[in-house]
Amino acid sequence: MHWGRHHRGSVELHRQQRGSRSHLKLTRLDSPELHMTHAGLAPTWLQVDHSPSAASLSNIAPSDTRIHRLAGGLRTLGVRPGDLVSWQLPNSTEAALLLWACWQLGATAVPLHHRASAQEVDVMLAAIPDAFSITASETQHMIRTESALLEVVPPPYGIALILHTSGSSGSPKAVIHTHDSLYFKAQSMAQVHALGAEDVVLMPAPMAHISGILNGVTLVAAAGMRSVLMNRWDPERALALISAERVSFMVGPPTFFLSLLQTSGFTSEKVRSLRLISAGGTGVSPAFCEEISQRFSAVVKRSYGSTEAPTVTTSWAGDPSECMHATDGRATPGTQLRLSETGELQLRGDGLFAGYTDATLTAQSITADDWFCTGDLAQITDGWITVTGRTSSMIIRGGENISPTQVESILTAHPDVLQAVVVGLKDARLGQRVAAALTTRNGLPFGLEDCHRWCAEQGLSRFKWPEVIHQVEAIPLLGSGKADLVAVRELLEQSSGASSQTS
């Protein structure tokens, strides 16, 4: 086997440094009943789409013997409870089997994004202790040749998973989740979404992302439903799968659903099985929700969460549609919300992460009274939350604070604009100026004059108007589906010298 330079290790959450924090005391998770597989959370029907052929779907059934053989193979190789096992695979049968095999063995799964470069992987692995590194071919070999491990081993300190943040505005952080947090979140979201055995989810997000894990694997197991995993996003293929597999639930950023609408073969008949769409990330405006709801004839709602705090707010089944479209929902079970004096959203409760592998980062992100600082600005009205921007992304122009989210919402309300991402560019006189990258319907032109005319009609304060507009075919995205703010800023900086696009 090829282990590279990352061989083995375990995570203990820096208990010496953070032992006084109640949410980081993991010794209580040693009890077997809190381990997901002990608690009855096991693979349900997973289907992995490997190619454009409809016959390419491969199944992973409940109690799949390949999981037991793979767990036995990992143990033969020396993997022990608490050890870290990493892999860099797209959504695939091997990736899904590795996840459940690690959990059966009591090991910690560390899936890495399949599109990450070698340099990015080095950065990610530097943030965690040494780990076993497994390839797809090695996984297949163990499944064919190893004896099955039938017992389920509780993991030390209850650690199930390490994921890396997308790094949309900085370096990735290694985020620790326990069996307890994943199990609680899966069970509670099945309740909130009102999902059951008759439902089918289509999941293009990779299993190196919290949405791929939660909405494509653990939530599916909790609800007893079926999951269809795509190894890459292809709107034409997705449209065919929705129709053929009777997909009823989808979750993701706006780009998924906008690209489906733009597919030449799109008809309402082909998506009539879809009954619930949960959208999060940049560009989820009331206008987007209303259009998608009408075109798909489905319930569309906004959701808010992160790698550290997956889906902590959303609308519940039966909530008013106007709240689903205009806000990011209300707290999910076990989640507490509050705003700091500066308007930053802070969280605590069940289903959140246990900390970062870097104890210093953990200490910086948790308040003295155990609240997680999200770095997001928000408003809370009668329990309904609306995220208004990032504390770090706030644009300060001539001493005035400008929320990128507010400007994005105004732009995407224009009938010709599909998506918009707003950032601040450095300005020698004002400190920063407002810049926007955007996409339009069918590539219709939308220049600076159009933008200013629209902003005036919408009553947006003049100092908030974008001073740089750059129209693109597609917004640069990270693997998670979030806007790549670094790439967007680079595009806008490059275009800011063009006189036809700046004021």
Would you place residue 324 in the very low, low, confident or very high pLDDT band (cuts 50, 70, 90)? very high
Q: Which residues are within 8 A (CB) of 60 and not within 5 positions of it... i.e. 6 or more apart?
A: 43, 45, 46, 47, 48, 66, 93, 96, 97
3-state secondary structure of 142: helix
Please state, in angstroms and rounded to a whole number, the distance separating the CA atoms of residues 326 and 349: 25
344 and 437 together in one domain? no
Kindly state whether residue 368 falls inside one of the protein's structural domains: yes
pLDDT tops 50 at residue 26? no
Residue 474 is predicted with a pLDDT of 92
24 and 115 together in one domain? yes
Kindly state whether residue 102 falls inside one of the protein's structural domains: yes
Mean pLDDT of the chain: 85
Please state, in angstroms and rounded to a whole number, the distance separating the CA atoms of residues 483 and 475: 7
Please state, in angstroms and rounded to a whole number, the distance separating the CA atoms of residues 218 and 228: 13
Q: Where are the alpha helices (DSSP H) in 249-378?
A: 254-262, 286-296, 321-326, 359-365
| Residue that wins the pLDDT comparison between 486 and 479 | 486
Please state, in angstroms and rounded to a whole number, the distance separating the CA atoms of residues 320 and 139: 47
Q: Residue 488 is inside which H or E element, if any?
A: helix 485-495
Report the DSSP pairing between strands 226-230 and 108-112.
Answer: unpaired
260 and 318 together in one domain? yes
Q: In what order do the strands lie in the sheet with 335-339?
A: 335-339, 344-349, 372-381, 384-390
| Residue that wins the pLDDT comparison between 124 and 98 | 98
Residue 11 is predicted with a pLDDT of 43
Kindly state whether residue 9 falls inside one of the protein's structural domains: no
34 and 150 together in one domain? yes
pLDDT tops 50 at residue 428? yes
417 and 286 together in one domain? no
376 forms bridges with which residues in the sheet? 390
The CATH number of the domain where 21 resides is what? Answer: 3.40.50.12780
Instruction: Please state, for a pLDDT cut of 70, what percent of the chain lies above it.
Output: 85
The C-alpha R_g of the chain, in whole angstroms, comes to: 23
Kindly state whether residue 7 falls inside one of the protein's structural domains: no
Would you place residue 12 in the very low, low, confident or very high pLDDT band (cuts 50, 70, 90)? very low
Kindly state whether residue 258 falls inside one of the protein's structural domains: yes
Find out whether 313 and 378 touch, Cβ atoms under 8 Å.
Answer: no
402 and 326 together in one domain? no
Residue 35 is predicted with a pLDDT of 58
Residue 441 structure tokens: 């319907």
Find out whether 92 and 135 touch, Cβ atoms under 8 Å.
Answer: no
Residue 299 is predicted with a pLDDT of 97
369 and 402 together in one domain? no
420 and 317 together in one domain? no
Q: Residue 118 is inside which H or E element, if any?
A: helix 118-126
**Exposure letters 155-171 (e unless 16+ CB within 10 A, then b):** bbbbbbbbbbbbbbbee
Kindly state whether residue 4 falls inside one of the protein's structural domains: no
Residue 344 is predicted with a pLDDT of 93
Residue 41 is predicted with a pLDDT of 63
Q: How many CB atoms lie within 10 A of CB 137?
A: 10
Q: Going along 260-364, which residue ranges are E strands?
A: 276-279, 299-304, 313-314, 330-331, 335-339, 344-349, 355-356
Kindly state whether residue 173 falls inside one of the protein's structural domains: yes
The residue from 373, 388, 403 where one domain ends is: 388
pLDDT in tens, 327-347: 999 999 999 999 998 899 999
Cβ burial of 498 (10 Å; 0-12, 13-18, 19+) is exposed
- pTM to 2 decimal places: 0.78
3-state secondary structure of 356: strand
Residues in the chain, total: 503
Lowest model confidence (mean pLDDT) among 115-119, 212-216, 271-275: 115-119
Q: What residue numbers bound the domain in which 494 lies?
A: 393-501
21 and 108 together in one domain? yes
pLDDT tops 70 at residue 375? yes
Residue 406 backbone class (left: φ over 0; alpha: ψ -120 to 50; beta: rest): alpha
Find out whether 221 and 43 touch, Cβ atoms under 8 Å.
Answer: yes
295 and 410 together in one domain? no
Residue 42 is predicted with a pLDDT of 61
pLDDT in tens, 28-87: 223 333 456 655 566 666 777 765 543 455 677 767 899 999 999 999 999 999 999 999
125 and 195 together in one domain? yes
The CATH number of the domain where 447 resides is what? Answer: 3.30.300.30
Kindly state whether residue 1 falls inside one of the protein's structural domains: no
Residue 398 is predicted with a pLDDT of 78
Residue 463 is predicted with a pLDDT of 85
- Range 62-65, long-range pairs (CB < 8 A, 24+ positions): 64/97, 64/100, 65/148
Please state, in angstroms and rounded to a whole number, the distance separating the CA atoms of residues 71 and 76: 9
Lowest model confidence (mean pLDDT) among 16-20, 383-387, 451-455: 16-20
Backbone angles phi, psi at 193, to 5 degrees: -80, -10
304 and 443 together in one domain? no
Would you place residue 282 in the very low, low, confident or very high pLDDT band (cuts 50, 70, 90)? low
pLDDT in tens, 232-262: 889 999 999 999 999 999 999 888 998 999 9
pLDDT tops 50 at residue 491? yes
3-state secondary structure of 307: coil
Residue 279 is predicted with a pLDDT of 93
The residue from 338, 353, 388 where one domain ends is: 388
Q: Into how many domains does the chain fold? A: 2
The residue from 388, 407, 442 where one domain ends is: 388
In single-letter form, the type of residue at position 407 comes to: V
Please state, in angstroms and rounded to a whole number, the distance separating the CA atoms of residues 178 and 36: 10
Only one residue has tokens 């917004």, namely 475
